[in-house]
Chain A
Amino acid sequence: MNVAVIMKQVPDTEALIKVAPDGSGYVKEGVKFVMNPYDEFGVEEALKNKESAGASEVTIISMGPERTVEAIRTGLAMGADKGVLLKIGDDEYTDAMGVAKALADELKAGDYKLIYCGKQAIDDDMAQVGPMVAQLMDIPCVSVVTSVELSGDKAVCTREIEGGKEVFEVTLPAVIACQKGLNEPRYASLPGIMKAKKKPLDIKDAKLEAAKSEIVKWENPPERPAGRILEGDDPAAKAAELVKALREEAKVI
């Protein structure tokens, strides 16, 4: 059974992000890029499937600029077998539908029974590509998954919802979008790091359609104003003043 993980390279969560002065994007220079943390859960689950559920090969597929190979190699070092980079130029391509189409075309060419991805990418938080890929491939998608049990050609997936859980059974092939808590991603071992450079990593030019949506502007969020401390000795009076401020100034009640 072949397993794929669709992965995105994103800025490190600790990176300080600065919006470009002209609002066209964010400054990428000096930013450290890593595998999207939610995608790591996908890689780990795929590797576990390989170890104990009969999966034979794990392929990592990603779309991005040249630097994305580093993130793919991290996955290979963790234990994945192959990598594919659908390469784009340095210009931004952020249209989720376009990304999903390119990934779906690549996935259709393989014979993947399971396709893992993170529930969202931590840079744009759109959470669209996984479900879009499933739709384009006409296969089911379960998202925000915290547990997966494979049995023959079926997968039982538990997904998190507000205040509870839903349990789905899907017939493979399917897309599974992973949530934190699904597993503990392993560290790349030193032997894994050494083996990674010998594993196949195909770089192809991404075939992209004209974007159906584009980001027109990036802005910083408004500066957080300084907090205000309510003075006074009488708690009841202060409470009244707080309620008044929440109602009239912050307008939240």
Chain B
Amino acid sequence: MYFQLTDEQKMILDMTRKFAEEELKPIAEEIDREHKFPTESVKKMAELGLMGMVFPEEYGGAGMDYVSYSIAIEEVSRHCASTGVVMSAHTSLGTGPIYYFGTEEQKKKFLTPLAQGEKIGCFGMTEANAGSDSAGTRTTAKLDGDHYIVNGTKNFITNGREADVAVVLVRTGEHKHKGLSMMIMEKSMEGYSVGKVEDKLGIVGSSTTELIFEDVKVPKENLLGNEGEGFKIGMHTLDSGRIGIASQALGIARGSLEESIEFAKAREQFGQAISEFQAIQWMIADMATRLDAARLLTRRAATLKDKGDVRFSKEAAMAKLFASETAMWAATKAIQVHGGYGYTKEYPVERYFRDAKITEIYEGTSEIQRLVIASSLLRQK
């Protein structure tokens, strides 16, 4: 079990690394400073096939495997974590459910424009009262003839402002879990509006918003799967999404490591480069080791997902948990290596620190990941 990349994966790594260095790096600071959605970058990524990597070519995707997808998200996030989450949320959360659970008609109508990056997708699960407790969803969908009437408010939705299509968790029945269903909604539907846009600590290039539904008429044909399958679809979607976020965290951690190495070699104190000091060397060694470990966990989860017929929830949770905690730790150490300079906007590490924190929270907090892992282990006798 040695993770050798295939020739194609190596080419994808080279291409996305080059793209990130030439297109994303030069504007990352501006995106952060101005809280700008990376519209131009997303357009270029769509042209290269990066906004629908894992979906089949017949639906406008690039037909890639999840390991390639993980590589691409890491490369993008190395220079711009905001762009990385836009890509991951759009692909795994916004488009994934339609691919895995949609009918042929739903795929033709929604999957293709999303995979081609012509439309942006988002995942409407979280509510003010339903974060970790996602089954606490109160948004309702009442069947009325040939359509559902949806009422409620979603909150903290990544890509909320830009999304044309939203895959939304709604309550169609009383039972806490089995009363939930998943629906495809469109921004163009009457009564669908984007509410508050959060002013966040990090990943400020990506929009995090409320979605407000007031008597939105959603055609019956937009139900994903069957009534009552919403929670199951949600959990399946999050398993894949976790690989995406783990990959984003890898990018942030790697950025922290690379910037630290460069700074330490250049910065002199006490007559030598600070990279000569053991304290700095140990920080770099630990950053690199944890990064490698996180990457191996992430590649393993992606490989299992690619196998297709095996459960990978535990492995995906481990990858997301470890990679996110590594990113936060590495970014904190990176500022430390940079000293006072790391605390200023002149260097990118303060942005990595701000961007890293959310990876420990969204798509399942570290606490939830630990519960997923523990319950997987305690279930077995």
Q: Is there an interface contact between A189 and B18, defined as CB atoms closer than 8 Å?
A: no
Q: Shortest CB–CB separation between residue A126 and chain B, in angstroms? A: 26
Residue B215 is within 8 A (CB to CB) of chain A in the complex:
no
Choose, from B42-50, B139-147, B293-301, the stretch at the interface.
B42-50
Given contacts A194-B62, A194-B63, contact A189 B11 (CB under 8 A): no
Q: Is there an interface contact between B15 and A187, defined as CB atoms closer than 8 Å?
A: yes
Residue A74 is within 8 A (CB to CB) of chain B in the complex:
yes
Nearest B residue (CB) for A74 = B11
Q: Is there an interface contact between A193 and B63, defined as CB atoms closer than 8 Å?
A: no
Q: Is there an interface contact between B57 and A77, defined as CB atoms closer than 8 Å?
A: no
Q: Is there an interface contact between B14 and A74, defined as CB atoms closer than 8 Å?
A: yes
- B:7-50 near A, CB below 8 Å: 7-8, 10-12, 14-15, 18-19, 47-50
Residue B81 is within 8 A (CB to CB) of chain A in the complex:
no
Residue A73 is within 8 A (CB to CB) of chain B in the complex:
yes
Render B47-59 as a binary contact track against A, CB cut-off 8 A, 1 for contact: 1111001000100
Q: How far is the CA of A224 from the CA of B132 in the complex (A)?
A: 60
Q: Is there an interface contact between B57 and A191, defined as CB atoms closer than 8 Å?
A: yes
Residue A190 is within 8 A (CB to CB) of chain B in the complex:
yes
Q: Shortest CB–CB separation between residue B20 and chain A, in angstroms? A: 11
Q: Is there an interface contact between B7 and A73, defined as CB atoms closer than 8 Å?
A: yes
Residue B64 is within 8 A (CB to CB) of chain A in the complex:
yes
Q: Is there an interface contact between B57 and A193, defined as CB atoms closer than 8 Å?
A: no
Q: Is there an interface contact between A188 and B11, defined as CB atoms closer than 8 Å?
A: yes
Measured between beta carbons, the chain B residues less than 8 angstroms from A194 are 8, 62-64
Q: Shortest CB–CB separation between residue A30 and chain B, in angstroms? A: 16
Measured between beta carbons, the chain B residues less than 8 angstroms from A77 are 11, 15
Residue A144 is within 8 A (CB to CB) of chain B in the complex:
no
Q: How far is the CA of A190 from the CA of B8 in the complex (A)?
A: 9
Measured between beta carbons, the chain A residues less than 8 angstroms from B7 are 70, 73, 197
Q: Is there an interface contact between B47 and A190, defined as CB atoms closer than 8 Å?
A: no
Measured between beta carbons, the chain B residues less than 8 angstroms from A74 are 11, 14
Q: How far is the CA of A196 from the CA of B19 in the complex (A)?
A: 19
Render A182-206 as a binary contact track against B, CB cut-off 8 A, 1 for contact: 0000011111011011000000000
Render A17-53 as a binary contact track against B, CB cut-off 8 A, 1 for contact: 0000000000000000000000000000000000000
Q: Is there an interface contact between A189 and B47, defined as CB atoms closer than 8 Å?
A: yes
Render A64-80 as a binary contact track against B, CB cut-off 8 A, 1 for contact: 00000010011001000
Given contacts A73-B7, A187-B18, A187-B19, contact A193 B12 (CB under 8 A): yes
Q: Shortest CB–CB separation between residue B16 and chain A, in angstroms? A: 9
- B:149-197 near A, CB below 8 Å: none
Q: How far is the CA of A72 from the CA of B19 in the complex (A)?
A: 19
Q: Is there an interface contact between A188 and B15, defined as CB atoms closer than 8 Å?
A: yes
Q: Shortest CB–CB separation between residue B21 and chain A, in angstroms? A: 10
Q: How far is the CA of A73 from the CA of B7 in the complex (A)?
A: 10
Q: Shortest CB–CB separation between residue A119 and chain B, in angstroms? A: 21
Identify which of B12, B14, B18 contacts A190 (C-beta below 8 A).
B12
Q: Is there an interface contact between B62 and A191, defined as CB atoms closer than 8 Å?
A: yes
Measured between beta carbons, the chain B residues less than 8 angstroms from A190 are 12, 15, 48-50, 53, 62, 64
Q: How far is the CA of A193 from the CA of B57 in the complex (A)?
A: 13
- A:53-101 near B, CB below 8 Å: 70, 73-74, 77
Measured between beta carbons, the chain B residues less than 8 angstroms from A191 are 49, 57, 62
Q: Shortest CB–CB separation between residue B60 and chain A, in angstroms? A: 10
Q: How far is the CA of A188 from the CA of B57 in the complex (A)?
A: 17
Measured between beta carbons, the chain A residues less than 8 angstroms from B63 are 194
Q: Which has the most chain B C-beta neighbours within 10 Å: A70, A189, A194?
A: A194
Measured between beta carbons, the chain B residues less than 8 angstroms from A187 are 15, 18-19, 48
Measured between beta carbons, the chain B residues less than 8 angstroms from A193 are 8, 11-12, 15
Q: How far is the CA of A159 from the CA of B3 in the complex (A)?
A: 48
Q: How far is the CA of A107 from the CA of B11 in the complex (A)?
A: 27
Q: Is there an interface contact between A189 and B48, defined as CB atoms closer than 8 Å?
A: yes
Q: How far is the CA of A191 from the CA of B61 in the complex (A)?
A: 9
Q: Is there an interface contact between A197 and B8, defined as CB atoms closer than 8 Å?
A: yes
Q: How far is the CA of A249 from the CA of B245 in the complex (A)?
A: 59
Q: How far is the CA of A196 from the CA of B12 in the complex (A)?
A: 12
Q: Shortest CB–CB separation between residue A246 and chain B, in angstroms? A: 28
Q: How far is the CA of A193 from the CA of B15 in the complex (A)?
A: 9
Q: Which has the most chain B C-beta neighbours within 10 Å: A187, A188, A194?
A: A187
Q: Shortest CB–CB separation between residue B117 and chain A, in angstroms? A: 12
Measured between beta carbons, the chain B residues less than 8 angstroms from A73 are 7, 11
Q: How far is the CA of A191 from the CA of B115 in the complex (A)?
A: 13
The 7 A-B pairs at the shortest CB distance, nearest first, are namely: A190-B49, A190-B62, A189-B48, A193-B11, A188-B15, A189-B49, A187-B19
Q: Name 12 A/B residue pairs within 8 A (Cβ), A-sorted.
A: A70-B10, A73-B7, A73-B11, A187-B19, A187-B48, A188-B15, A189-B49, A190-B64, A191-B57, A191-B62, A193-B11, A193-B12
